[in-house]
Amino acid sequence: MKQANALIIDHQQLKGSYRLLTLKVPEIAVFAKPGQFVHVRCGQTLEPLLRRPISIHKIEADRGELSLLYQVVGRGTQLLAEKQPGDQVDIMGPLGRGFTLPEWVNRAVVVGGGIGAAPLLSLVETLVIAKVETTVILGARSGELLIGVEPMADLGVQVITVTEDGSVGQPGLVTAALKQLLHQVKVEENNKLDYLYSCGPKPMLKAVTALALEYNLPGEVSLEERMGCGVGACLACVCKVRKQEQMEPATGLLKESELGPESGAGASSCSVNEPVASDFSYKRVCDHGPVFSLGEVVWDD
Amino acid sequence: MTKLAVNLGGIAMKNPVTTASGTFGCGPEYAPYVDLNQLGAIVVKGTTLEPRLGNPTPRIVETPAGMLNAIGLQNPGVEYFINSSLPYLKEYQTPVIVNIAGNCLEDYGEIAKRLDRVVGVAGLEVNISCPNVKKGGLQFGTDPLMAYEVIKTVRENTGLPVIAKLSPNVTDIVAIAVKVAEAGANAISLINTLLGLVIDIDRRKPLLGNIMGGLSGPAVKPVAVRMVWQVSQAVNIPILGMGGITTGADAIEFLLAGATAIAVGTANFVNPQATMEVLEGIEEYLTRHGIDDVNDIVGAAWEK
């Protein structure tokens, strides 16, 4: 993990508010893995203050380059959008834990919603190299908001596009397309989908997870959360995860059996009636994540 | 060669720069970016007797030249800290100050006692901006007598240097400071965060999960400098100043106002090298002005 002044080699305006930024930064690119992110300082001054975490879209380690596909949504990304080739951008990275590829995976489905497509390109490149048969489903509210389709298709994988308003591809939600695929593979191909990867808005991830679990399909999701430090120090960017059996570092998880005065040194005499939730703890999206296993995440209603 | 060493209430620091609790984790997080041996001290994140879950998200939001945080003291508890976090820090030649928090006087007494003879702990910074559950949730740090009680309780349970970290959300910071000094604090650190709130106009509700949060960053600096100015002239114990420091020049302001040492917090998020740049800036100012010893400028702005 390093801090570096990356050189902008290319900065394209794609459709709508989407931008594609290509950086030459070998000291980070060489170590980057699909699913990781960089923490970007968008302006030179103290206002806006914080860095913006942006997932890595494409990694070209031998050229020492990485690309970021991002959306202009606020003052930080607006400032970033104004930078030109030849300018430098102060970035930290590569940060976080990326996607994994268990060796028994032969057939995968990758589901992206809106800007959630961004971290999935380098993942699919890895799957293709590993000869994993991959189907990609990319969706958005409308054709204008659908992004990342062409580079995926260029990899030679099947890409199913879905828009809620039907302007491009199948009309409806990605979950409907996913359900169709799961059913089709089960019935027609008589071969199982081994693994699911997904990134997108929380309601989409929640629905995709529910569907995957229904079909006993393991997999991983990539999350985002407002971030402070980006390196695991400030504990701002946490996500609710299911309780594990052991005490987790820095999660505040407490085993039920460790409550109460008989648990020895450390028992507080006015133990705050904190809802030491018996079914979840908090893990940092910048450090344990941004990639989490499907079954791990507790989705709020 | 400029002398940078300072003594913060019994804690010998090689230079005046330390880290603000909650912004620097427990060491490993920033180690790839900063040589921890170069710091005057490290103040680690707030530790409680038992693990704390913390608040629901969102826990932070950016504000003009600042941010609100409502982390909720998520931490793995003092036992985990002693057994797993401290060994890492003991590898460095930098004093470790443990920030402690509790919900009642007994909590503070117990955690102070627990950390008292632990090798590797150089001092305790007492977070008194916690609600006292035995007094209807009123924050310890908002009442001079409660502040006195909590520092006295810590004082009675440890021989370590005790730093009282004051909340700025009070009418009279000097009244609080005088009482904590009286209770036996060896030093005072200020300021903690200022209470703030952001409304999400799309959802039409407060943005943070905890509704309110603490403001930090450059926006708070003038309030922090003012309080250091007031408190340092009212007590005889050293001050650890913090609040929006991003450069050496900011740090010098705090020293001139009366602080013996300073802490860099939110700035770390923007620039992981912030502590080192602040240190270099302090050195550069002293050299440029022909000042041999950093202690010579502590409170220099008081002179008429």
CA distance A115 to chain B (A): 20
Q: Testing the interface with A: which of B21, B44, B49 to mutate, by most A Cβ within 10 A?
A: B49
pLDDT of B43: 98
8 Å CB contact of B103 and A47: no
Tell me the mean pLDDT in the region B235-241.
98
Q: What's the CA gap between A50 and A92, in Å, rounded?
A: 13
Q: What's the CA gap between B147 and B128, in Å, rounded?
A: 7
Q: Testing the interface with B: which of A2, A40, A235, A297 to mutate, by most B Cβ within 10 A?
A: A235
Q: What's the CA gap between B302 and B258, in Å, rounded?
A: 8
8 Å CB contact of B133 and A272: yes
Tell me the mean pLDDT in the region B205-233.
97
Of A49, A254, A281, the CB nearest to B66: A49
Name the residue in chain A with its Cα closest to that of B77.
Answer: A252
Contacts of B33 in chain A (CB under 8 A): 1-3, 92, 231
List per-residue pLDDT tens for chain A, 301 residues long.
999 999 999 999 999 999 999 999 999 999 999 999 999 999 999 999 999 999 999 999 999 999 999 999 999 999 999 999 999 999 999 999 999 999 999 999 999 999 999 999 999 999 999 999 999 999 999 999 999 999 999 999 999 999 999 999 999 999 999 999 998 887 777 668 899 999 999 999 999 999 999 988 999 999 999 999 999 999 999 999 998 654 444 333 333 333 333 333 444 556 554 545 557 999 999 999 999 999 899 998 6
8 Å CB contact of B33 and A3: yes
Q: What's the CA gap between A112 and A173, in Å, rounded?
A: 11
Contacts of A235 in chain B (CB under 8 A): 22, 45, 54, 59, 71, 74
Average pLDDT, chain B: 96
- Sole residue written with tokens 């038992």: B50
pLDDT of A192: 80
Q: What's the CA gap between B162 and B11, in Å, rounded?
A: 10
Of B57, B266, B270, the CB nearest to A238: B57
8 Å CB contact of B270 and A51: yes
Q: What's the CA gap between A85 and A39, in Å, rounded?
A: 19
Q: What's the CA gap between A286 and A231, in Å, rounded?
A: 6
ipTM rounded to 2 decimals: 0.95
CA distance A4 to chain B (A): 11
CA distance B264 to chain A (A): 13
In the beta sheet, which residues pair with residue A238? A284
CB pairs under 8 A between A and B: 161
Q: How many residues does chain B have?
A: 304
Contacts of B273 in chain A (CB under 8 A): 3
Name the residue in chain A with its Cα closest to that of B71.
Answer: A236
Contacts of A237 in chain B (CB under 8 A): 57, 59
Amino acid at position B130, single letter: C
Contacts of A267 in chain B (CB under 8 A): 49-50
Name the residue in chain B with its Cα closest to that of A249.
Answer: B76
Name the residue in chain A with its Cα closest to that of B33.
Answer: A2
Q: What is the pLDDT of residues B27-40, one digit of tens each?
A: 999 999 999 999 99
pLDDT of A255: 37
pLDDT of B167: 96
Q: Please state at what angle helix B248-257 crosses helix B274-288, rounded to 10 degrees.
A: 60
Phi, psi of A66 (to 5 degrees): -140, 155
Phi, psi of A284 (to 5 degrees): -75, 130
pTM: 0.93
Enzyme catalytic residues of B: 130
Contacts of A253 in chain B (CB under 8 A): 51, 53
Q: Testing the interface with A: which of B99, B157, B198, B270 to mutate, by most A Cβ within 10 A?
A: B270
- Name the helix (H) or strand (E) containing B139: strand B138-139
Q: What's the CA gap between B193 and B5, in Å, rounded?
A: 27
8 Å CB contact of A229 and B268: yes
The answer on pLDDT for B157 being more than 80 is yes
Q: What's the CA gap between B180 and B161, in Å, rounded?
A: 13
Of B69, B217, B272, the CB nearest to A92: B272
* Beta-carbon contacts of residue B9 (< 8 Å; ≥ 6 apart): B123, B161, B162, B163, B185, B186, B187, B237, B238
Name the residue in chain A with its Cα closest to that of B131.
Answer: A272
Tell me the mean pLDDT in the region B209-221.
97
pLDDT of A268: 52
8 Å CB contact of B23 and A234: yes
Contacts of B59 in chain A (CB under 8 A): 226, 235-238
Q: How many residues does chain A have?
A: 301
8 Å CB contact of B57 and A226: yes
Phi, psi of A32 (to 5 degrees): -70, 140
Of B32, B59, B65, the CB nearest to A2: B32
8 Å CB contact of A236 and B103: no
Contacts of B271 in chain A (CB under 8 A): 41
CA distance A254 to chain B (A): 6
- Give the side-chain half-sphere CA count within 13 A for A253: 19
Cβ-based burial of B126 (10 A; exposed 0-12, middle 13-18, buried ≥19) = buried
CA distance A245 to chain B (A): 15
pLDDT of B304: 73
8 Å CB contact of B106 and A268: yes
pLDDT of A259: 36
8 Å CB contact of A1 and B32: yes
DSSP A256: G
pLDDT of A278: 58
Of B24, B52, B76, the CB nearest to A249: B76
8 Å CB contact of B53 and A253: yes
| Per-residue tokens: A96 | 């976080």
b/e string for B260-299 if b means 16 or more Cβ within 10 A?
Answer: bbbbbbbbbbbbbebbbbbbebbbebbeeeeeeebbebbb
Contacts of B66 in chain A (CB under 8 A): 49
